[in-house]
Amino acid sequence: MMDVALRAGVSHGTVSNFFNRPQLLSEATREKVAQAVADLAFVPNDAARTLAKGTGNTIGVVLVDIGNSFFVDIARGVESAAAESAHKLLLANSDVNAQKQDDYLELFDETRVRGIILAPLDGEQDGAARVRSHGRPVVFVNWPGEDDASCGVIVDEEHGGYLAARHLIELGRTTLLFAGGPLTLHAVADRLNGVRRAIDEAPGVALEVLETHSLTTRAGRVLGHELAIRPPARQPDGVVCAADSLAIGCIEQLVGAGIRVPEDIAVTGYDNNHYGAESAVPVTTIAQPGHEMGVIAAELLAEEVGGLPGHTHRTVILKPSLLVRKSTVASAVPAITDAPETAR
Protein backbone atom coordinates (compact mmCIF):
# COMPACT_ATOMS: atom_id res chain seq x y z
CA MET A 1 0.00 0.00 0.00
CA MET A 2 2.92 2.34 0.66
CA ASP A 3 4.16 1.66 -2.89
CA VAL A 4 0.73 2.61 -4.22
CA ALA A 5 0.73 5.77 -2.10
CA LEU A 6 4.15 6.82 -3.41
CA ARG A 7 3.15 6.08 -7.00
CA ALA A 8 -0.08 8.10 -6.68
CA GLY A 9 1.48 10.89 -4.60
CA VAL A 10 -0.99 10.45 -1.75
CA SER A 11 -0.83 9.29 1.86
CA HIS A 12 -1.04 5.72 3.09
CA GLY A 13 -4.38 6.62 4.73
CA THR A 14 -5.79 7.78 1.38
CA VAL A 15 -4.96 4.41 -0.16
CA SER A 16 -6.65 2.71 2.79
CA ASN A 17 -9.74 4.84 2.24
CA PHE A 18 -9.69 3.97 -1.47
CA PHE A 19 -10.23 0.30 -0.60
CA ASN A 20 -12.38 0.63 2.51
CA ARG A 21 -14.19 4.00 2.39
CA PRO A 22 -13.99 5.27 -1.21
CA GLN A 23 -16.91 7.63 -0.65
CA LEU A 24 -14.57 9.82 1.45
CA LEU A 25 -12.37 10.56 -1.55
CA SER A 26 -12.90 12.93 -4.44
CA GLU A 27 -13.33 11.47 -7.89
CA ALA A 28 -9.96 12.86 -8.96
CA THR A 29 -8.18 11.22 -6.03
CA ARG A 30 -9.96 7.91 -6.63
CA GLU A 31 -8.86 7.94 -10.28
CA LYS A 32 -5.26 8.73 -9.30
CA VAL A 33 -5.09 5.87 -6.80
CA ALA A 34 -6.87 3.48 -9.19
CA GLN A 35 -4.26 4.19 -11.85
CA ALA A 36 -1.43 3.49 -9.39
CA VAL A 37 -3.10 0.24 -8.33
CA ALA A 38 -3.37 -0.81 -11.98
CA ASP A 39 0.20 0.18 -12.79
CA LEU A 40 1.58 -1.85 -9.87
CA ALA A 41 -0.87 -4.77 -10.30
CA PHE A 42 -1.62 -4.41 -6.59
CA VAL A 43 -4.08 -6.81 -4.95
CA PRO A 44 -5.04 -6.20 -1.30
CA ASN A 45 -4.11 -9.02 1.07
CA ASP A 46 -7.49 -9.70 2.66
CA ALA A 47 -6.07 -12.51 4.81
CA ALA A 48 -3.53 -10.12 6.34
CA ARG A 49 -6.19 -7.50 7.01
CA THR A 50 -8.41 -10.13 8.61
CA LEU A 51 -5.52 -11.33 10.78
CA ALA A 52 -4.72 -7.79 11.89
CA LYS A 53 -8.34 -7.02 12.80
CA GLY A 54 -9.18 -10.48 14.17
CA THR A 55 -12.14 -10.80 11.81
CA GLY A 56 -13.11 -9.98 8.24
CA ASN A 57 -16.10 -8.99 6.17
CA THR A 58 -16.70 -12.50 4.82
CA ILE A 59 -19.57 -14.81 5.73
CA GLY A 60 -19.15 -18.57 5.51
CA VAL A 61 -22.15 -20.56 4.27
CA VAL A 62 -22.29 -24.35 4.64
CA LEU A 63 -25.17 -26.07 2.85
CA VAL A 64 -26.09 -29.72 3.20
CA ASP A 65 -26.84 -30.41 -0.48
CA ILE A 66 -26.49 -27.92 -3.31
CA GLY A 67 -27.90 -30.55 -5.66
CA ASN A 68 -31.25 -29.62 -4.12
CA SER A 69 -32.41 -26.32 -5.60
CA PHE A 70 -34.06 -25.44 -2.28
CA PHE A 71 -30.59 -24.91 -0.82
CA VAL A 72 -29.50 -22.99 -3.91
CA ASP A 73 -32.43 -20.64 -3.26
CA ILE A 74 -31.24 -20.23 0.33
CA ALA A 75 -27.75 -19.37 -0.90
CA ARG A 76 -29.13 -16.75 -3.29
CA GLY A 77 -31.10 -15.20 -0.45
CA VAL A 78 -28.01 -15.05 1.77
CA GLU A 79 -26.02 -13.51 -1.07
CA SER A 80 -28.54 -10.76 -1.75
CA ALA A 81 -28.84 -9.81 1.93
CA ALA A 82 -25.08 -10.04 2.51
CA ALA A 83 -24.49 -7.58 -0.31
CA GLU A 84 -26.74 -5.08 1.48
CA SER A 85 -24.52 -5.25 4.57
CA ALA A 86 -21.27 -5.16 2.50
CA HIS A 87 -20.34 -8.74 3.33
CA LYS A 88 -18.80 -11.22 0.93
CA LEU A 89 -19.70 -14.89 0.72
CA LEU A 90 -17.76 -18.16 0.89
CA LEU A 91 -19.96 -21.12 -0.02
CA ALA A 92 -19.35 -24.76 0.89
CA ASN A 93 -21.33 -27.95 0.21
CA SER A 94 -21.18 -30.64 2.89
CA ASP A 95 -22.84 -33.06 0.45
CA VAL A 96 -24.82 -34.77 3.24
CA ASN A 97 -21.56 -35.73 4.94
CA ALA A 98 -21.10 -34.95 8.64
CA GLN A 99 -17.30 -34.98 8.46
CA LYS A 100 -17.26 -32.56 5.53
CA GLN A 101 -19.65 -30.29 7.43
CA ASP A 102 -17.32 -30.18 10.43
CA ASP A 103 -14.28 -29.71 8.18
CA TYR A 104 -15.82 -26.67 6.50
CA LEU A 105 -16.88 -25.21 9.85
CA GLU A 106 -13.30 -25.59 11.06
CA LEU A 107 -11.94 -24.05 7.85
CA PHE A 108 -14.20 -21.01 8.15
CA ASP A 109 -13.28 -20.67 11.80
CA GLU A 110 -9.56 -20.76 10.97
CA THR A 111 -9.97 -18.14 8.24
CA ARG A 112 -11.75 -15.90 10.74
CA VAL A 113 -14.95 -15.30 8.81
CA ARG A 114 -17.28 -12.76 10.39
CA GLY A 115 -19.91 -15.42 11.01
CA ILE A 116 -21.34 -18.64 9.60
CA ILE A 117 -24.74 -19.60 8.20
CA LEU A 118 -25.25 -23.35 8.44
CA ALA A 119 -27.89 -25.59 6.83
CA PRO A 120 -26.88 -28.74 8.70
CA LEU A 121 -27.43 -32.45 8.63
CA ASP A 122 -29.79 -33.87 11.23
CA GLY A 123 -28.20 -34.59 14.57
CA GLU A 124 -26.12 -32.96 17.28
CA GLN A 125 -24.46 -29.74 16.14
CA ASP A 126 -21.19 -30.12 18.03
CA GLY A 127 -19.15 -28.50 15.26
CA ALA A 128 -21.29 -25.38 15.37
CA ALA A 129 -21.01 -25.25 19.16
CA ARG A 130 -17.23 -25.47 18.90
CA VAL A 131 -17.12 -22.55 16.45
CA ARG A 132 -19.39 -20.48 18.70
CA SER A 133 -17.12 -21.18 21.66
CA HIS A 134 -14.41 -19.30 19.74
CA GLY A 135 -16.62 -16.23 19.55
CA ARG A 136 -17.81 -16.79 15.98
CA PRO A 137 -21.60 -16.51 15.53
CA VAL A 138 -23.49 -19.31 13.78
CA VAL A 139 -27.00 -18.90 12.40
CA PHE A 140 -28.87 -22.05 11.42
CA VAL A 141 -31.12 -22.24 8.39
CA ASN A 142 -33.55 -25.14 7.91
CA TRP A 143 -32.73 -25.97 11.53
CA PRO A 144 -33.95 -24.29 14.72
CA GLY A 145 -31.72 -22.04 16.74
CA GLU A 146 -30.65 -22.99 20.24
CA ASP A 147 -32.03 -21.06 23.20
CA ASP A 148 -29.69 -18.29 24.33
CA ALA A 149 -26.97 -19.54 21.97
CA SER A 150 -27.93 -19.09 18.32
CA CYS A 151 -30.61 -18.00 15.86
CA GLY A 152 -32.35 -20.17 13.29
CA VAL A 153 -34.76 -19.99 10.38
CA ILE A 154 -37.10 -22.89 9.69
CA VAL A 155 -40.28 -23.75 7.81
CA ASP A 156 -43.32 -25.26 9.49
CA GLU A 157 -42.82 -28.78 8.10
CA GLU A 158 -45.87 -30.15 9.87
CA HIS A 159 -48.06 -27.59 8.12
CA GLY A 160 -46.50 -28.57 4.80
CA GLY A 161 -47.45 -32.21 5.27
CA TYR A 162 -50.93 -31.13 6.26
CA LEU A 163 -51.31 -29.02 3.09
CA ALA A 164 -50.27 -31.92 0.85
CA ALA A 165 -52.63 -34.44 2.43
CA ARG A 166 -55.49 -31.96 2.68
CA HIS A 167 -55.13 -31.21 -1.02
CA LEU A 168 -55.50 -34.90 -1.93
CA ILE A 169 -58.44 -35.33 0.43
CA GLU A 170 -60.21 -32.33 -1.11
CA LEU A 171 -59.75 -34.00 -4.50
CA GLY A 172 -61.73 -36.97 -3.20
CA ARG A 173 -58.83 -39.34 -2.54
CA THR A 174 -59.60 -41.75 0.29
CA THR A 175 -56.64 -44.16 0.50
CA LEU A 176 -53.47 -42.19 1.04
CA LEU A 177 -49.90 -43.39 1.37
CA PHE A 178 -47.09 -41.35 2.91
CA ALA A 179 -43.63 -42.22 1.60
CA GLY A 180 -40.37 -40.87 2.96
CA GLY A 181 -37.44 -41.70 5.11
CA PRO A 182 -35.64 -42.41 7.16
CA LEU A 183 -38.41 -41.45 9.56
CA THR A 184 -35.75 -40.43 12.06
CA LEU A 185 -35.13 -37.30 9.95
CA HIS A 186 -36.88 -34.48 11.76
CA ALA A 187 -38.28 -32.94 8.56
CA VAL A 188 -39.74 -36.25 7.37
CA ALA A 189 -41.25 -36.97 10.78
CA ASP A 190 -42.81 -33.51 10.97
CA ARG A 191 -44.28 -33.82 7.47
CA LEU A 192 -45.78 -37.17 8.42
CA ASN A 193 -47.32 -35.61 11.53
CA GLY A 194 -49.00 -33.04 9.31
CA VAL A 195 -50.38 -35.76 7.05
CA ARG A 196 -51.75 -37.57 10.08
CA ARG A 197 -53.45 -34.41 11.29
CA ALA A 198 -55.21 -34.02 7.94
CA ILE A 199 -56.30 -37.68 8.06
CA ASP A 200 -57.68 -37.23 11.58
CA GLU A 201 -59.86 -34.42 10.28
CA ALA A 202 -61.23 -36.56 7.44
CA PRO A 203 -63.38 -39.53 8.53
CA GLY A 204 -63.28 -42.40 6.07
CA VAL A 205 -59.80 -41.60 4.75
CA ALA A 206 -57.15 -44.28 5.36
CA LEU A 207 -53.39 -43.78 5.66
CA GLU A 208 -50.52 -46.16 5.00
CA VAL A 209 -46.95 -45.19 5.89
CA LEU A 210 -44.09 -46.60 3.81
CA GLU A 211 -40.60 -45.71 5.03
CA THR A 212 -37.95 -45.30 2.33
CA HIS A 213 -34.20 -45.60 2.91
CA SER A 214 -33.63 -42.13 1.41
CA LEU A 215 -35.34 -39.26 -0.41
CA THR A 216 -33.64 -39.82 -3.76
CA THR A 217 -35.10 -40.43 -7.21
CA ARG A 218 -33.76 -43.98 -7.05
CA ALA A 219 -35.69 -44.60 -3.83
CA GLY A 220 -38.73 -43.15 -5.60
CA ARG A 221 -38.37 -45.67 -8.42
CA VAL A 222 -38.29 -48.49 -5.89
CA LEU A 223 -41.42 -47.04 -4.30
CA GLY A 224 -43.20 -46.71 -7.65
CA HIS A 225 -42.33 -50.26 -8.64
CA GLU A 226 -43.63 -51.59 -5.33
CA LEU A 227 -46.93 -49.78 -5.79
CA ALA A 228 -47.24 -50.77 -9.45
CA ILE A 229 -47.00 -54.52 -8.77
CA ARG A 230 -49.69 -54.43 -6.10
CA PRO A 231 -53.18 -55.62 -6.99
CA PRO A 232 -55.33 -52.59 -7.89
CA ALA A 233 -57.42 -53.07 -4.75
CA ARG A 234 -54.30 -52.53 -2.59
CA GLN A 235 -53.01 -49.50 -4.43
CA PRO A 236 -53.49 -46.07 -2.84
CA ASP A 237 -55.27 -43.39 -4.85
CA GLY A 238 -53.07 -40.65 -3.40
CA VAL A 239 -49.37 -40.60 -2.48
CA VAL A 240 -47.69 -37.93 -0.37
CA CYS A 241 -43.94 -38.05 -1.00
CA ALA A 242 -41.63 -36.33 1.47
CA ALA A 243 -39.48 -34.94 -1.37
CA ASP A 244 -39.85 -34.00 -5.03
CA SER A 245 -37.08 -36.37 -6.08
CA LEU A 246 -38.96 -39.24 -4.44
CA ALA A 247 -42.17 -38.21 -6.22
CA ILE A 248 -40.46 -37.96 -9.62
CA GLY A 249 -39.01 -41.47 -9.36
CA CYS A 250 -42.33 -42.86 -8.17
CA ILE A 251 -44.28 -41.24 -11.01
CA GLU A 252 -41.75 -42.51 -13.56
CA GLN A 253 -42.33 -46.10 -12.49
CA LEU A 254 -46.11 -45.77 -12.20
CA VAL A 255 -46.48 -44.29 -15.67
CA GLY A 256 -44.12 -46.89 -17.10
CA ALA A 257 -46.35 -49.61 -15.66
CA GLY A 258 -49.44 -48.13 -17.34
CA ILE A 259 -50.84 -46.49 -14.21
CA ARG A 260 -52.27 -43.04 -14.94
CA VAL A 261 -51.06 -40.09 -12.88
CA PRO A 262 -53.12 -38.39 -11.55
CA GLU A 263 -56.29 -40.23 -12.70
CA ASP A 264 -55.44 -43.52 -10.96
CA ILE A 265 -52.92 -42.32 -8.39
CA ALA A 266 -52.31 -38.65 -7.54
CA VAL A 267 -48.83 -37.83 -6.24
CA THR A 268 -47.47 -34.85 -4.32
CA GLY A 269 -43.85 -33.94 -3.61
CA TYR A 270 -42.10 -31.51 -1.29
CA ASP A 271 -39.48 -28.72 -1.61
CA ASN A 272 -40.42 -27.24 -5.01
CA ASN A 273 -37.21 -28.42 -6.63
CA HIS A 274 -36.89 -26.62 -9.95
CA TYR A 275 -36.78 -29.83 -11.98
CA GLY A 276 -40.11 -30.93 -10.51
CA ALA A 277 -41.94 -28.38 -12.64
CA GLU A 278 -40.18 -29.61 -15.78
CA SER A 279 -40.64 -33.37 -15.39
CA ALA A 280 -42.84 -35.38 -17.78
CA VAL A 281 -45.66 -35.06 -15.25
CA PRO A 282 -45.10 -31.75 -13.42
CA VAL A 283 -45.16 -32.45 -9.69
CA THR A 284 -47.58 -30.85 -7.27
CA THR A 285 -45.38 -29.79 -4.40
CA ILE A 286 -45.03 -27.96 -1.14
CA ALA A 287 -42.90 -24.88 -1.75
CA GLN A 288 -40.52 -23.66 0.92
CA PRO A 289 -39.49 -19.99 0.78
CA GLY A 290 -35.79 -20.72 0.41
CA HIS A 291 -34.78 -17.26 -0.80
CA GLU A 292 -36.61 -15.59 2.08
CA MET A 293 -35.02 -18.03 4.54
CA GLY A 294 -31.58 -17.06 3.27
CA VAL A 295 -32.33 -13.36 3.51
CA ILE A 296 -33.60 -13.66 7.08
CA ALA A 297 -30.62 -15.82 8.12
CA ALA A 298 -28.22 -13.22 6.76
CA GLU A 299 -30.12 -10.42 8.52
CA LEU A 300 -29.99 -12.29 11.83
CA LEU A 301 -26.25 -12.82 11.42
CA ALA A 302 -25.73 -9.16 10.54
CA GLU A 303 -27.61 -8.19 13.71
CA GLU A 304 -25.42 -10.44 15.82
CA VAL A 305 -22.02 -9.55 14.38
CA GLY A 306 -22.95 -5.88 14.35
CA GLY A 307 -23.80 -5.94 18.04
CA LEU A 308 -27.26 -4.52 17.33
CA PRO A 309 -28.84 -3.37 20.61
CA GLY A 310 -31.71 -5.59 21.64
CA HIS A 311 -30.65 -8.55 19.51
CA THR A 312 -31.93 -11.79 21.01
CA HIS A 313 -31.36 -15.34 19.84
CA ARG A 314 -34.57 -16.60 18.27
CA THR A 315 -35.97 -18.98 15.68
CA VAL A 316 -37.98 -17.53 12.80
CA ILE A 317 -40.71 -19.85 11.51
CA LEU A 318 -42.04 -19.46 7.97
CA LYS A 319 -45.10 -21.07 6.39
CA PRO A 320 -44.81 -23.25 3.25
CA SER A 321 -47.31 -23.10 0.38
CA LEU A 322 -49.00 -25.54 -1.99
CA LEU A 323 -48.15 -25.49 -5.70
CA VAL A 324 -50.72 -27.45 -7.72
CA ARG A 325 -49.47 -29.13 -10.89
CA LYS A 326 -50.48 -32.02 -13.14
CA SER A 327 -49.43 -34.86 -10.83
CA THR A 328 -52.63 -34.27 -8.85
CA VAL A 329 -54.87 -32.27 -11.20
CA ALA A 330 -54.57 -33.17 -14.88
CA SER A 331 -55.83 -29.78 -16.04
CA ALA A 332 -53.83 -27.80 -13.51
CA VAL A 333 -52.38 -24.44 -14.32
CA PRO A 334 -49.59 -23.92 -11.73
CA ALA A 335 -50.83 -21.73 -8.91
CA ILE A 336 -49.86 -20.97 -5.35
CA THR A 337 -52.36 -21.36 -2.55
CA ASP A 338 -52.04 -20.67 1.15
CA ALA A 339 -49.60 -17.79 0.71
CA PRO A 340 -46.54 -17.89 2.99
CA GLU A 341 -46.74 -16.24 6.38
CA THR A 342 -43.88 -15.33 8.65
CA ALA A 343 -43.80 -15.80 12.41
CA ARG A 344 -40.91 -14.17 14.19
**pLDDT reported for residue 148:** 84
Q: Structurally, what CATH architecture does the domain formed by 2-44 represent?
A: Orthogonal Bundle (1.10)
Distance CA 44, CA 37 (A): 10
Model pLDDT for residues 36-54, shown as the tens digit of each residue: 999 988 887 665 555 555 5
With 0.85 as the threshold, say if the pTM is over it: no
266-298 in b/e burial notation, b at 16+ Cβ within 10 A?
bbbbbbbbeebeebebbbbbbbbbbbbbbbbbb
Other beta carbons within 10 Å of 172: 10
Q: Where in the chain is the domain with CATH 3.40.50.2300?
A: 58-154+290-318, 157-288
**pLDDT reported for residue 311:** 86
**pLDDT reported for residue 203:** 95
Low-confidence ranges of the chain (pLDDT < 50): 335-344
Domain 58-154+290-318 adopts which CATH fold?
Rossmann fold (3.40.50)
Q: Where in the chain is the domain with CATH 1.10.260?
A: 2-44
SS3 string of 73-112?
Answer: HHHHHHHHHHHHCCCEEEEEECCCCHHHHHHHHHHHHHCC
Domain 157-288 adopts which CATH fold?
Rossmann fold (3.40.50)
